[in-house]
Amino acid sequence: MRQRLAAFLRGRYGPDDLGRFTNAVCMVMLILSLLRPLKFLYLPALLLLVLTVFRLLSRNYAARSRENAWFLRTKGAVTHGFSGFVMRTVGSGRFSRRTPNLIFACPSCGQKIRVPKGRGKIEITCSRCRTSFRKRT
């Protein structure tokens, strides 16, 4: 039986990134389709499953590789675009700058002083009372 299966699968394209992705999406859709309001997902999930199996068993390596390459490019662009978007959004926020900062309180007056991180041991001069103190950043 195992040998038969192996013989059947020989020369087939098999799973790739796109295959794993469509398979995962398919499973999620099938599970969601168990919920009454999401019943409509059942049919597209089945179609996706058929597509996944079709690609898995396909002998047309060139076409399947092209699809996978396209998928990886798209995924890369989406991931890149998304992280770029997150960086822009977070980076423009007032809590985060391009260089992470540390905040120290002046030992004599309690004034909060923002210092760039990763500079090693530096001398900080308080902007209010001019007291200087050393801190590791």
SS3 string of the chain? CHHHHHHHHCCCCCCCHHHHHHHHHHHHHHHHHCCHHHHHHHHHHHHHHHHHHHHHHCCCHHHHHHHHHHHHHHHHHHHHHHHHHHHHHHHCCCCCCCCCEEEEECCCCCCEEEEECCCCEEEEECCCCCCEEEEEC
Name which position in 104, 111, 135, 137 contacts Zn ion (CB under 5 A). 111
What track of x and - describes contact with Zn ion for positions 49 through 88 (by CB under 5 A)? ----------------------------------------
Name which position in 9, 31, 69, 109 contacts Zn ion (CB under 5 A). 109
Nearer residue to Zn ion within complex by CB, 66 or 130: 130
Nearer residue to Zn ion within complex by CB, 96 or 108: 108
Nearer residue to Zn ion within complex by CB, 71 or 133: 133
Query: Residues interacting with Zn ion, by CB under 5 A?
Result: 106, 108-109, 111, 126, 128-129, 131
